[in-house]
Amino acid sequence: MKKKLYPIAITIAGSDSGGGAGIEADLKTFAALGVHGVVALTSVTAQNTYQVTGIHDLPPEMVARQIITVWEDIGIDAGKTGMLSNSEIIRAVAETVSKLGFPLVVDPVMIAKSGAPLLRPEAMNALIKYMVPIATVITPNKHEAEKITGMKINNFEDARKAAKYIVEELGATAAIVKGGHIEVGEESIDIMYYNGKFYEFRAPRIVDGCTHGTGCSFSAAIAVELAKGRDIVKAVKTAKKFITMAIKYGVKVGRGACPVNPMAWIEIPAMKYHVIESVKEALKIIIENQKLFNKYIPETGSNLVMAIDPRYAETINDVAGVKGRIVRYGDGVKIVGPVEFGASSHMARLVLTAMKYDPSIRSAMNLKYDEKLVERAEKKGYIVVYIDRRNEPEEVRLVEGRSIPWIMETAFKKVKRVPDIIYDTGDVGKEAMIRVLGKTPVEVVYKALSIIRE
Ligand SMILES: Nc1ncnc2c1ncn2[C@@H]1O[C@H](COP(=O)(O)OP(=O)(O)OP(=O)(O)O)[C@@H](O)[C@H]1O
Ligand SMILES: Cc1ncc(CO)c(N)n1
């Protein structure tokens, strides 16, 4: 069969007005993982990160109609269910999906992170009776698995028993008991039972991440991979990586549990591409003006760096620079290696620290110290700060990597903003240096050129 350019995944779920869970999380997940998403809305919730203030269920016929209407024109390769709210909706969905016969991931949503019930008590039996048997994969958390099986789940052994029971006694093809709430340790471990075997999916537990919408986004990611034709084990593996990233780089908004960020999956690689291109563009300007730059390349070489967006930048691996630095070469300069993430440590740390004070300052370059450059910078009206490295505290000197943040912090304290230029006149074993900061590498290079040119 010819591979489809656009696999289609459907979410049959409720809307979260806060944009964190429900169909909003699902559609973001579908888009980020590269399928076309379609929707059958079950309920509208008035919800934010800490409470649900209203629920309005759609008529069951309307839910079924959405699925059928999409199916007959666009087709559906796989789907997921989220909030189904009441037993009539459950019956309508189960009946419709069974007729159409596409693979289905069932996220047996019962309670929101905020504690609000999203499934009416009368619907619990319908969920077990109608949804579990048609699930290709069902993804209960600890609490949901307890409700479905009537078992107590306190550890992974219990989780195994529950997963097996859901498959062998209740009729799901595969059951994953999610470990988000079981044995809170270093890892978040999900247990799957499928085809007579147990599988474990592990990821580091994220302590200060965002968890509103984790279950929705995780089940949506599995549905995407099934829509692409992947087998169940591969689908869950990808979904696990995906959800871990979405939790880690969550959308830090609201007073309650902040929403997961399914866009991180594509935004980070996209930003990395953009950053590399931006540094390369600025390097071209350096090469065009290499004779001017020659005199101002430090003995230890220069680097030009740019960080990805401050929402995502954490370590020097999130900052791109020139591998092997920029060095003097004849009467010009040489860009020694490729532009890579993690290629710079000093300039990268400078930018990472600067971004804490001003998130828009994402780029920097260092030049050899020359008092003429400092004079010109001051004349041009740049904010220029001098740092006396002899004042560097002992505890900063002794720890590798602490000096640069100290320089940035000290400079910020002096002028209450991130300066355009920070310079020092060196110390024993430390070369005197000028550091030019700015929003983009092109801006930084032009700033540098404007003080280099006589
Ligand atoms: N703090 C965490 N760090 C890493 N992974 C986590 C964390 N919390 C949950 N997960 C993972 O996220 C996925 C969703 O699990 P979770 O148990 O949170 O779902 P849920 O309770 O159904 O979520 P929701 O409240 O959105 O319905 C699982 O793969 C789980 O292991
Ligand atoms: C609409 C909706 N579906 C699912 C969840 C589960 O987190 C939620 N909070 N809201």
Supply the DSSP string of 141-160, one letter for each residue: -HHHHHHHH-----SHHHHH
Tell me, yes or no, whether 300 and 166 share the same domain.
no
Among 122, 193, 118, CA closest to 158: 193
Ligand 2 pocket check for 25: Cβ under 6 Å: no
Catalytic annotation present for 53: no
Q: State the average pLDDT over residues 179-192.
A: 88
- Rounded to two decimals, the pTM is 0.92
Mean pLDDT of the chain: 96
pLDDT-derived band of residue 5, with 50, 70 and 90 as boundaries? confident
pLDDT higher than 80, residue 3? no
Q: How far is the CA of 28 from the centre of ligand 2 (A)?
A: 14
Q: Decide which of 208, 227, 262 is a domain's last residue.
A: 262
Q: Name the closest-CA residue to atom 12, ligand 1.
A: 214
Q: pLDDT per residue over 69-120, tens digit each?
A: 999 999 999 999 999 999 999 999 999 999 999 999 999 999 998 889 999 9
pLDDT-derived band of residue 65, with 50, 70 and 90 as boundaries? very high
Q: Give me the DSSP letters along 268-336.
A: HHHHHHHHHHHHHHHHHHHHHTHHHHHTTS-TT-B-EEEE--TTT--SGGGEEEETT-EEEETTEEEE-
In terms of Cβ atoms closer than 10 Å to its own Cβ (0-12, 13-18, 19+), residue 260 is: buried
Q: How far apart are CA 193 and CA 161, in angstroms?
A: 9
59-68, 162-171, 178-187: range with lowest mean pLDDT: 178-187
Tell me if 1 is assigned to some domain.
no
Q: Determine which one of 96, 211, 244, 440 is catalytic.
A: 211
Ligand 2 pocket check for 82: Cβ under 6 Å: yes
Q: How far apart are CA 121 and CA 314, in angstroms?
A: 44
Q: State the average pLDDT over residues 58-68.
A: 98
- Number of separate domains in the chain: 2
Tell me, yes or no, whether 183 and 312 share the same domain.
no
Tell me, yes or no, whether 203 and 338 share the same domain.
no
Cα separations (Å) of 228 from 3, 8, 32, 34?
A: 9, 8, 13, 9
Q: How far apart are CA 123 and CA 141, in angstroms?
A: 18
Tell me if 341 is assigned to some domain.
yes
Amino acid symbol at 147: K
The DSSP bridge partners found for residue 52 are: 47
- Domain hosting residue 375, numbered range: 267-452
Local structure of 137: helix, strand or coil: strand
Measured from the alpha carbon of residue 245, the closest ligand is 1
The pair of structure tokens assigned to 426 is 């060196």
Note the pLDDT of residue 182: 82
Note the pLDDT of residue 2: 62
Tell me, yes or no, whether 135 and 90 share the same domain.
yes
Tell me if 49 is assigned to some domain.
yes
Tell me if 166 is assigned to some domain.
yes
Catalytic annotation present for 82: no
Note the pLDDT of residue 181: 82
Q: pLDDT per residue over 278-306, tens digit each?
A: 999 999 999 999 999 999 999 999 999 99
> Tokens 């990395």, residue?
272
Q: How far apart are CA 420 and CA 361, in angstroms?
A: 10
> Given the CA of residue 113, which atom of ligand 2 is nearest to it?
7
Q: Decide which of 262, 294, 328 is a domain's last residue.
A: 262
| CATH code of the domain in which 183 resides | 3.40.1190.20
pLDDT-derived band of residue 142, with 50, 70 and 90 as boundaries? very high
Ligand 2 pocket check for 21: Cβ under 6 Å: yes
Among 116, 141, 119, 109, CA closest to 48: 116
Tell me if 356 is assigned to some domain.
yes
Which secondary-structure segment (H or E) carries 227? helix 214-227
Tell me, yes or no, whether 155 and 211 share the same domain.
yes
Measured from the alpha carbon of residue 45, the closest ligand is 2
Q: Give the CA radius of gyration of the chain.
A: 28
Q: What is the ipTM of this complex?
A: 0.93
pLDDT higher than 90, residue 428? no
Tell me, yes or no, whether 250 and 282 share the same domain.
no
Catalytic annotation present for 213: yes
Tell me, yes or no, whether 282 and 251 share the same domain.
no
Q: State the average pLDDT over residues 178-204.
A: 92
Assess contact for 217 and 29: CB atoms under 8 A: yes
Q: pLDDT per residue over 384-406, tens digit each?
A: 999 999 999 988 888 888 999 99
Cα separations (Å) of 356 from 95, 112, 146, 231, 349?
A: 54, 33, 44, 43, 11
pLDDT-derived band of residue 41, with 50, 70 and 90 as boundaries? very high
Q: How far is the CA of 214 from the centre of ligand 1 (A)?
A: 5
Note the pLDDT of residue 184: 74
Q: How far is the CA of 53 from the centre of ligand 1 (A)?
A: 23
Note the pLDDT of residue 454: 76
pLDDT higher than 90, residue 147? yes
Note the pLDDT of residue 359: 97
Ligand 1 pocket check for 297: Cβ under 6 Å: no
Tell me if 278 is assigned to some domain.
yes
Tell me, yes or no, whether 37 and 67 share the same domain.
yes
Note the pLDDT of residue 400: 82
Tell me, yes or no, whether 301 and 334 share the same domain.
yes
Tell me, yes or no, whether 215 and 162 share the same domain.
yes
Residues 6+ apart with CB under 8 A from 103: 77, 78, 79, 136, 223, 226, 227
pLDDT-derived band of residue 123, with 50, 70 and 90 as boundaries? very high
Note the pLDDT of residue 1: 56
Q: How far apart are CA 320 and CA 364, in angstroms?
A: 11
Tell me, yes or no, whether 299 and 238 share the same domain.
no
Note the pLDDT of residue 154: 93
Q: Decide which of 262, 285, 320 is a domain's last residue.
A: 262
Local structure of 202: helix, strand or coil: strand
Q: How far apart are CA 267 and CA 246, in angstroms?
A: 11
pLDDT-derived band of residue 141, with 50, 70 and 90 as boundaries? very high
Ligand 2 pocket check for 107: Cβ under 6 Å: no
Note the pLDDT of residue 243: 98
Q: How far is the CA of 83 from the centre of ligand 2 (A)?
A: 6
Tell me if 447 is assigned to some domain.
yes
Ligand 1 pocket check for 243: Cβ under 6 Å: yes
Tell me if 3 is assigned to some domain.
no
Tell me, yes or no, whether 244 and 284 share the same domain.
no
Q: pLDDT per residue over 312-363, tens digit each?
A: 999 999 999 999 999 999 999 999 999 999 999 999 999 999 999 999 999 9
Q: State the average pLDDT over residues 27-47.
A: 98
The DSSP bridge partners found for residue 302 are: 326
**Helix 156-168 × helix 142-149 angle, to 10°:** 50
The pair of structure tokens assigned to 157 is 């052994």
Percent of the chain at pLDDT exceeding 70: 100
Note the pLDDT of residue 180: 80
| CATH code of the domain in which 429 resides | 3.40.225.10
Q: State the average pLDDT over residues 109-134.
A: 95
Percent of the chain at pLDDT exceeding 90: 92
Assess contact for 296 and 433: CB atoms under 8 A: no
Q: How far apart are CA 219 and CA 262, in angstroms?
A: 12
